[in-house]
């Protein structure tokens, strides 16, 4: 069991004034649209790994497309900036389109929102479907290599910015969710999908569920046990 501090979209000044170590979090995850200096402060104060995906208001952080070998898949990603990445927050790991392990959890990430302008980190349903297929291939290959193919759960956490289509999303084009996330949930059975993007405006969003996967809106911050 791991305890996750999940943050997204809204800066919570209370976290910066708290002793984050007392929260007992083993991992910090960020679901996008937060200032990089805020993430750098959180990873410093919590003194645990921080993984993130970009949101639609974040700059373009796409890492260079590269062929992934079996050796690459089984190696945990380093908590340093990839030399091929546009600079992101120091000490934090961008897992957009990637799979990694942290705090004993297998985590995959898909950042971005539905396309509504020509800005970065925005995708059509078809584009996100292709990204999801690529992520699934990486996850399954990693499971085979590490002899997890017989495990009922190939993934512990799916980290996204937008929610799944029709589950915690909104009707306007910017805030619609992605249909492709339903397929990933069905085939990879993550324990939890953590997302941001949908602002509950002062209240805590209701926890939802697809099959056995918990769907949690992390706008502001949430403490979650997985």
What CATH number has the domain bearing residue 156? Answer: 3.30.750.180
213 occurs within a structural domain: yes
User: Are residues 65 and 56 in contact, defined by beta-carbon separation less than 8 angstroms?
Assistant: no
24 occurs within a structural domain: no
202 occurs within a structural domain: yes
pLDDT digits (tens), the chain, 226 positions: 899 999 999 999 999 998 998 999 999 999 999 999 999 999 999 999 999 999 999 999 875 434 444 444 445 565 555 544 557 899 999 999 999 999 999 999 999 999 999 889 999 999 999 999 999 999 988 766 555 544 545 799 999 999 999 999 999 999 999 999 999 999 999 999 999 999 998 788 899 999 999 999 999 999 999 9
27 occurs within a structural domain: no
User: Are residues 33 and 57 in contact, defined by beta-carbon separation less than 8 angstroms?
Assistant: yes
Q: Which domain holds residue 102?
A: 54-217
Output the pTM of the full model. 0.88
225 occurs within a structural domain: no
For position 1, what pLDDT does the model report?
A: 87
17 occurs within a structural domain: no
Reduced DSSP (H G I as helix, E B as strand, rest coil) percent helix, strand, coil of the chain, to 5: 25, 25, 50
Task: Using alpha carbons, select from 145, 139, 134, 148 the residue that is nearest to residue 71.
Answer: 145
- Distance, in Å, from the CA atom of 153 to the CA atom of 69, rounded to the nearest integer, reads 22
174 occurs within a structural domain: yes
For position 142, what pLDDT does the model report?
A: 73
Q: What is the DSSP letter of 97?
A: T
- Distance, in Å, from the CA atom of 167 to the CA atom of 107, rounded to the nearest integer, reads 21
If one counts the domains in the chain, the total is: 1
16 occurs within a structural domain: no
User: Are residues 94 and 52 in contact, defined by beta-carbon separation less than 8 angstroms?
Assistant: yes
User: Are residues 145 and 70 in contact, defined by beta-carbon separation less than 8 angstroms?
Assistant: yes
């Amino acid at each position: 069991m791991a305890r996750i501090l999940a943050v997204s979209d809204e800066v919570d000044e209370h976290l910066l004034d708290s002793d984050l170590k007392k929260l007992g979090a083993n991992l910090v995850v960020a679901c996008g649209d937060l200032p990089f200096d805020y993430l750098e402060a959180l990873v410093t104060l919590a003194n645990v790994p921080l993984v993130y995906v970009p949101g639609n208001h974040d700059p373009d952080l796409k890492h260079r497309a590269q062929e992934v070998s079996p050796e690459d898949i089984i190696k945990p990603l380093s908590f340093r900036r990839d030399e091929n990445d546009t600079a992101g927050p120091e000490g934090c790991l961008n897992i957009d389109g990637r799979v990694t392990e942290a705090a004993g959890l297998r985590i995959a990430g898909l950042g971005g929102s539905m396309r509504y302008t020509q800005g970065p980190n925005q995708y059509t349903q078809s584009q996100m479907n292709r990204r999801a297929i690529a992520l699934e291939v990486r996850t399954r290959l990693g499971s085979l290599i590490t002899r997890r193919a017989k495990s009922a759960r190939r993934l512990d956490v799916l980290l996204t910015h937008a929610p799944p289509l029709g589950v915690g999303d909104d009707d306007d084009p910017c805030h619609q969710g992605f249909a492709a996330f339903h397929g990933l949930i069905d085939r990879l059975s993550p324990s939890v999908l953590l997302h941001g993007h949908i602002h509950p405006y002062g209240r805590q969003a209701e926890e939802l569920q697809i099959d056995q996967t918990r769907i949690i809106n992390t706008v502001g911050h949430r403490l979650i046990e997985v």
